[in-house]
Every structure is written in structure tokens, then in C-alpha cells.
Chain A
Amino acid sequence: MSLLSSLRSTVSSLLRRERVESDTDEELRAHVQNRADDLLRLGLDRAEAERRARIEFGGHEKFKEECHEALGTRFLYALLQDLRFGLRMLRKSPSFTTVAILTLALGIGVNTATFSLLNGLVLRNLPVPHAEQLVRFGAHDPGDDYAALSLPMFQEFSRSQKVFSGTFAWWGDIVLNVETEGTLSRADVWTVDGNFYPELGAWPQIGRLFSSEEENLSAAAASQVAVVSYGFWQSHYGGAPDVIGKMLKIEGIPFTIIGVTRNRFTGMSATLEMEISLPLPATHLLGGQPDLQKYLKRRDARWLEVAGRLKPGVTLEQARAQLDSLWPGIREEMAPPDKTSAELGSFHELQLKVESGAKGGSLLRHRFEKPLYTVLAISALVLLVACVNLASLMLARAASRSHELSVRVALGAGRVRLASQMLTESLALSAAGSIAGCVFAYWASRALAVFILRQIYIVPAELNLSPDWRILGFTASATIVTGVLFGLAPAWRATHEDANAALQQSARTLGGGTGRLGKGLIMVQVALSVVLLASAGLFVRSLEKLHAVDPGFHTRAALDVSLFPKPGGYKNLALVDYYRELTDRVSHLPGVVSAGMMHTRFGNVLEWTERARIAGTEAQGQEADFEMAMPGLFETAGISLLRGRSFNWQDDEHTPSVAIVSKNFAEKLFPEGDAIGQHIDVLTIRKWQNLQIIGVVSNASLYDIRKQPPPTVYLPATQYGDYMGWSHVLVQTTFPLATIAGPLRQTVESLGHEYVTSIKTVRQNIDRSLLQERVTAMLSGFFGALTLLLAAIGLYGLMAYTVAQRTREIGIRLALGAARLRVLKMILREALALVLAGVLMGLPGALAASRLIAHMLFGLSPNDPATLAFVTSALLVVGTLAAYLPARRAMKVDPMVALRWE
């Protein structure tokens, strides 16, 4: 018979199992009837004939089984039978089933959730056709990640390259004031060139995308049209179709909406929807440049981000090789001709960066890739602990089913059959757990993503967490591996069931119980918990240390007030006078101790660093953090002036350029001698030359509090008009944030030029900069607690079972005069011995694991003794608590009842 028809018959008989069953029943019944008819003819009466016929025929069920074997469906039939039986057994012990499914749901859930985040952030390609063909390239300063090109550079690359089927460019991710339907809000604005949408395969949801006239780069003026994102359309226009043709204003400049992109179109970003997109020429309107062509033709201004789509068969390496070979020529050609060779130094150092653009850009990826992999490793450990825990619970259950199993063995059940019964049960459990886990993961991954994104972005951002084949595959394999892992121990035990044991009474009173295997499992569980808890403990302690760091400025009672100009708010405004007035008004508010303006903010993730050297020398220069400050800032921030004077309102564009430096900067550049009165040059910014040092202040880590305070240079914003707008007021206050927020907003509003976008305590901003440490500590701490809970459940289960098994023995001990307290101690000692053995097993693992995460720790050695001591004592305490209840039960055993038991 052919394989195919055999398969067909198996499948069809399986599909029609119920019918086959009833067919068989009917056929066999007919047989018995026929036989009975014949017997009737031989002279027996009806009842007797039927009885004889049935006896002759024998056991109905046995035939059915043989018939299934004959039909080739026995294996599947057995599986279904196992499943049915397994589900019945699970229904019979609802508390075990609930604990098991919850454990698995959490175990598989945290893994799926973490993996979903990792998938969305690191693994997943952009949702555009053939994202794998996308390649980003751009020129960057050595040591700076930001890579971009000027438009002429981009056009030259596009003309000369042979590796891409198309290239496109964009500018943006700039948050600007936008007026829609009379309301003012801030939105993320981008500009894109004519190839952007076609190369990304984008289609409008409604309306149209930019035409080639609108994208004409040699036009005299830019077309004022805009495409908005689906999300923006929904949130600002309620999804109304008449949005097409409506006008919105960006920084007061009107644009007509011509189209809406589709939902989830994020361009070349992994997380940001492009809320408003404009044609590339419109960039000059936002940049405030009057002449479009002059703006676009700047040869050395790198402002465009660009990408290309690889031709079929061309690899990233080949593309990189060709672009690299073109770069020196293009760089030469684009060098500004009117500059001296010394001034061109940094331009000639520009390097080309070519990298895959398949996954889209994201600020988050760099920060969260490592933490997420670490969290995934920890959650895998949680699942492993859950497996071991369930294995020992299953084992205890299997031991209490020992009687049932040995009866089955005695009746001839195959060992394979018993093992597969156990595995079927564990797989059914893990499948149920994983379904519940997916629900949990769906919720948890979204909650976590929203939490992270809200901290990082002020504009709508989203991670694509929807299930794809990777997530499904991951969860499915986790489910199967889990089911097999925790089913193995009981299955193995089932194959060693002794048929005789069923018949021996003693086996039920003095049985080996879960025996060495069960104890071994608990030790393994404790050992794994040690590894997990030690890692979690290190992350939590690192975060504590980070919180305790003194960054050199006040973090409490200091508020950071972010200001944003109203549309056109800075037009014809004398900024120095304005900010002097603002600072004055704010510092006279009730509850305000002092106030001062700064350009960025404390805990800014994007550090501002430049190189500076003694004026007139050719030294390499000293790397230093830079910050623009206005009068009042140092007092407000709690950075103390050690020598010289502070900035005042008389330092403006007409007076000689001055600077204040940190103590360590002064010591680095002027090791012997006084820094005051000396002059420095900034290498990286040509205009900043010959700055006179007028003061020295205490050290502070302005941007990254993880670092020792770096040498820092402060410049007076009042001398640099470009750095005065879009600032922050730092406010030292004795009032809580909620009380002072209203008056602060009103004060800024009352001057009519700016508005407050957010008020945060400096502490909140610092916390924001520690987001990855916080997420890691929070998750691993949660997992640690989960692990402790599992350890408690596991140990409780084992000890409760042991006590139940040994009731008779304990009864005898008590009858012979053992003190009850001694029985309690005996059980506790046994439990603690297991925990200690597990801890000892786990410690080397914990030390090894802590080496792996050493680079993510702060202010701790990887084998921090305090953490290890805490972990050990936590497990011992949990172990004692878990063993206490069973031990108390043992103590209360009534000797008479125990002896009469059976």
C-alpha cells in the first residue's frame, strides 16, 4: 500500500474517530446479535443466548484497542486518551493546577514580554517593502555618532554611485510649535525629498504625497504643503476626511495639508511617527534663511540624513567599499574654498559611515539593547527556576500517584506509555500556561514600552510589539522546552515504577517519597535562585549607589522649567534684557529662593563636549563638558564659586568673551599657577577664541552622573545670542512642585514671548537619564521576588510532602518520647540543609554571572559581599518560613492517629 493512502486512511480515521468508534461498536454489536440468533436456533432462550454470545465474544474495550492498533491510530488514540486523562487529573487537583499555570504564565509571560520588546527595538525590520535593502550613510566627526551630508554631497554621491537602485534624503525630527484649528501644540516636524516616499513604498491613507514640482530643488521658493501622519490626523483632526486642504501653521508659517500617511508609517525611524512632513525645500523656511537656493547649495553644511536602496545582489560590504572610495574626492570638492587650511582641519577629518538602515533609527536601541538582553537572560533564568519548581511539584504529585502508577505497571502498562502520560500532562500544563502568559506578555510589554517611551520622547512614539513569526516561534519553543523540562523528572520516575510496590503496604507508609531526585531538584532551584537573585541584587544596589551619587549640584528642591518660544516669540526681542527680566520676576515669586538660566539641563543624555586649550598654543587640548549659564545659575544649582567672580548681566556681546571653569579643569590646564585671568581657545568651534577665565567653580557631573565630574567650561549665554533661546530656568524653591508650577507658568506667560513646556524636579531629570538602570533594576528586582516566591512554594511543597510521607515515622518517634520541639527542629534542619547546599552550589554560578554583568554595574565590585550575604540570608529566611508550616504540622502529629493510619 502506498504511503499516501496509508496516511490518508490514518488521517481520515482520526478525523472521524468518533464515527469510527461508533461504527466499530455497531459492527461488534451486530456480530454478537448474529451469534445470539444462531444460539437461539440451537434452542437456547433469548436471554441466555445473548449472554452466551457476549461471553464468547469477550471484552469489548480490549477489541476496540486492538482495532485501533489495526487501524494505525493507536499512537494518536493513546495521546488523546492521555490528554483526556491528564486533564481529568489536573481538574481533580485545582490548587496544584492553578499554581502550576500561574507559575508558567509568569515564567513564559516575562520571557515573551521581554522578547517582544527586544524584537520591536533590536530585531525587527522597518515595516516597509524589502527593508533589508536599506543602507544609511553620512559623514561624521571622529568620535561623534551624528552622520549627515550637505545636499551637494548627497547629489554627488547619488550621481556617482552604482550600488543603489535609488537614494533618498530627509531632515528633521525637530519639535516645533504647530497651530491646528486655532490650538497651539508642539509636533515632530520632518522634511523629505522627492524619492523618500517612493523608495519606502509609502502610500497615502487619504489625499496625496508630494509631487515632483513641490520637491523641485532648483525652484526659487518652497511649496508650502504638508503631509501629516495617521496618528496626528487622528489626534488633531479626529480622523475627519476634510483635513485635506486645511491649513496648519508651523512656527507661524502656513502650510496646506495635502495628504495623510498610513497608520504605522514611521519613515526611517523605528519609533517615531513622522507627525508632519514637508517637502525638502521647505527646510529653509524653518531655518529662517531667506534665499532658498543659497540655503540648499551650502556645500559643507551637513544637515541631511540619507539612505539608499541596494540593487539586487549587492551587499552592504560592496556598497560600503564603493561609497568609501568616492568619499575623499567628494570631501575635497566640497571643502569651503574661502577658508585657510588650518580652519579646514576638522572638515578634512570627516569620515564616512555606511551602515544597514533596515531596522530604522532609534535613540533607544543603543541605550536599551544590552539591558534588554540582560533582562531576557534573567527572565530565562526565571523560567528555568519555574521549571525546576514545577518538576519537583510534579514529582511530589507523581509520588502520591505512585499507587496508581504501579497498579498500571502491574496491569501491563508499558513504561513508555506511562512516561508519555506524564509528559502529556506537563505539556498540557505548559500550553495552558503559555496562553495565559501571552495575555500577560501583551499587557506587560505594552505597559513597559509606554513607560520607557514616555520618559524619553516628548512626541508620540511607539514600538512595534505586535506578534510576528519570531515572537510566536520564541513562545512556542519556550512552551515545549518548558513542558519537556519539568515533565522529564516525573516521566523518568514513572518508568522506574515498581509493580510490586503497589502490593506492599509498607511502600505507602515508609516510601522513599520524592527521594533524592526531589531534593536534588530543590537544591538546583535554590542554586539557580542564587544566581538570579545575586544579579538582581547587584542591579538594584547599583541603582541605589547611583541615587546616592552627589553630582556636585542640588538635585532636591531644584526645579527645571523648560521654556519654548511662542510662534515668532523671539522676533525682534532683546534676549538679554528679556531673560534678565524673567529671572528677576521668577526669583521674586513667593517660595522661590533663587533662579538662573541654563542652556541644556542636568542629566541630559546627549552630553555637550568640546576640546579647549590654552589660547595661542598648538596643544591637543583638554576634552571638557560645556554649558551656557546666565547670572544666578551657580547659586541656584548649588555649584559654589571658589575663586574669581560669577557671570553678571554686563557680560554681553560687546564685552570681551569670558568663561568660568571647574576646579578640575583649572588644575588640568594650569597645574601650577592661577587660572584666573588666563585665556583659552575652543578647538572645535572656531568663533570661540581667547576666552578669559574669570572664575573657578566646584566640580560637577552635569550630564552623566555615572561619571566622575569631568572638567567643565561654562560660558555666559548672554555673550552668544544663538544659545539664549529654548532654554531652561533652574529654580530653587521651598515650595512643592505642584504649588509653584502655576505661578511659574503665569510668570513666563505674562512676559508674552515664551511658554512653559514642562516643569520637572532636577531629580526627575536625573532619574530619566538613569532609565536603563532603573528598568533593569526594576525588572530584575521583580524577577528576584518572583524567584523567592517560587523557592518558597517549591520548598513548602517538598517539606509538606515529606512530612505527610513520614507521619507514621514521626508518630513512632513521638510515641517513643521524642520532644515535639525536636521534631520541629528536625524538619526545619532538613529544609535549611537543602537551602544551604543549594546556596553553596549556586554561589560559583552567581560569581560567574556577575562577571558578565560587571560592565553594567555602578560603584560595586561584581562579587559584592553585601549582595551575596543578602541573597543567602533572604533564601534562608524564605526557606525557614516555607518549612515552618509543614514542620509545625509534623510537631502536632498525634502519635495514636499516626500509628493507626492505614
Chain B
Amino acid sequence: MTSQAQILPGTLDLLILKAVSLGPLHGYGVLLRIEQISHGALLIEQGALYPALFRLVRQGLLKASWGTSDNNRRAKFYELTSTGRKRLRQEADGWNRLAAAIASALDTQPEEI
């Protein structure tokens, strides 16, 4: 297992949107999905998850509805709204640009200056 990375501030929302974009999830599922798609590298603090989910619902990026989970438990499922989908695209683009820029900055060798 790779060592776990610190989540950068502001990226939790992006990760949640991404996780949910792959299919409706309940809260705990979001946690597991992020762990899964980051190959265990990103571990979300459980306490931070719910306030973030509520915030995203309030901003209209996610919508929530009650359903039944795999193990027959009543659970609240979150899915992306169309605004959420748009936001995910924008944020992902932004993130990719930033990451690419930082990566290229970090790759710079002394002779390239």
C-alpha cells in the first residue's frame, strides 16, 4: 500500500464530486470510493465528509435521496446534478492545469534555465 497523501485544502469537494459522478453513493460509499479510486493513497477524515456533502447539496451540486443500500440498510444516496457535472468538469480542468504546471515546474532541470 502506498503511503497516504495529505489532501490539499479545497480538493475534498472535487474528490467527492468525482466519486459521485461514477454512480450514486451513500456517505460511507463516498469514503470507500475515494479510497478505491486513489488506490488507497487518499484517506478522507470521516468527520470532514458530511459537512462537505451538506455543503455541496446546499450549493445544488449534489442531490440526495433516501434509498436502500446493498446490505439492506436505509441510506441516503447522493448523485450529481447537471450543475454538479459542469462544476466537476471545470474543477477537474483547473486541477489538471495546476497539477501539470506544478509538475513541469518540479521537473525543471538546472540546464533548462
**A interface with B by C-beta (< 8 Å):** 1, 5-6, 9, 23-24, 26-28, 30-31, 33-35, 37, 56-58, 62-63, 66-67, 69-72
Q: What are 16 A-B pairs with beta-carbon distances under 8 A?
A: A1-B83, A5-B60, A6-B58, A26-B74, A27-B27, A27-B76, A30-B27, A30-B76, A31-B28, A34-B69, A34-B71, A57-B46, A58-B47, A67-B51, A70-B51, A70-B53
| B59: interface (CB < 8 Å) | yes
- CB contacts (< 8 Å) of A33 on chain B: these are 73
Contact of B28 among A34, A63, A67, A71 (CB under 8 A): A34
| B18: interface (CB < 8 Å) | no
> B residues 50-80 with Cβ under 8 Å of A?
50-55, 58-60, 69, 71, 73-76
- Shortest CB distance A27–B (Å): 5
| B26: interface (CB < 8 Å) | yes
Interface hub of B26, B47, B74 (most chain A Cβ within 10 A): B47
- CB contacts (< 8 Å) of B26 on chain A: these are 27, 30-31, 34
A30 touches B47 (CB 8 A): no
- CB contacts (< 8 Å) of A24 on chain B: these are 50
- CB contacts (< 8 Å) of B29 on chain A: these are 34
- Shortest CB distance A408–B (Å): 23
> B residues 68-100 with Cβ under 8 Å of A?
69, 71, 73-76, 83
| A-B interface, 9 closest residue pairs, ranked by CB to CB distance from nearest | A70-B54, A34-B28, A70-B55, A66-B51, A70-B51, A1-B60, A31-B28, A27-B76, A31-B27
Known: A30-B75, A63-B51, A67-B51. A35 touches B58 (CB 8 A): no
Measured CA separation A56–B31 after assembly (Å):
13
B28 touches A70 (CB 8 A): no
Query: Which single residue of chain B is at the shortest CB-CB distance from A23?
Result: B76
Contact of B74 among A6, A30, A63, A69 (CB under 8 A): A30
**B interface with A by C-beta (< 8 Å):** 26-29, 46-47, 50-55, 58-60, 69, 71, 73-76, 83
- CB contacts (< 8 Å) of B53 on chain A: these are 70
CB-based A-B contact count at 8 angstroms: 67
Known: A57-B46, A57-B47, A63-B47. A70 touches B27 (CB 8 A): no
A9 touches B58 (CB 8 A): yes
Query: Which single residue of chain B is at the shortest CB-CB distance from A72?
Result: B58
- CB contacts (< 8 Å) of A66 on chain B: these are 47, 50-51
Measured CA separation A624–B11 after assembly (Å):
98
- Shortest CB distance A317–B (Å): 58
- Shortest CB distance B48–A (Å): 9
- CB contacts (< 8 Å) of B51 on chain A: these are 63, 66-67, 69-70
Measured CA separation A6–B53 after assembly (Å):
16
A62 touches B73 (CB 8 A): no
Known interface pairs A31-B28, A66-B47; 13 further A-B residue pairs with C-beta atoms within 8 A, sorted by A's residue number: A9-B58, A26-B76, A27-B26, A27-B75, A28-B50, A30-B26, A30-B69, A30-B76, A34-B28, A56-B46, A67-B54, A70-B50, A71-B58
Measured CA separation A72–B56 after assembly (Å):
12
Measured CA separation A563–B103 after assembly (Å):
113
Query: Which single residue of chain B is at the shortest CB-CB distance from A5?
Result: B60
Measured CA separation A35–B71 after assembly (Å):
12
Query: Which single residue of chain A is at the shortest CB-CB distance from B83?
Result: A1
Measured CA separation A66–B45 after assembly (Å):
14
A30 touches B28 (CB 8 A): yes
Measured CA separation A58–B48 after assembly (Å):
11
- Shortest CB distance A3–B (Å): 12
- CB contacts (< 8 Å) of A9 on chain B: these are 58
Measured CA separation A67–B74 after assembly (Å):
20
Interface hub of A34, A58, A67 (most chain B Cβ within 10 A): A34
- Shortest CB distance A20–B (Å): 9
- Shortest CB distance B54–A (Å): 4
- Shortest CB distance A19–B (Å): 12
- CB contacts (< 8 Å) of B27 on chain A: these are 27, 30-31
- Shortest CB distance A285–B (Å): 80
Known: A30-B26, A35-B28. A70 touches B46 (CB 8 A): no
- Shortest CB distance A620–B (Å): 87
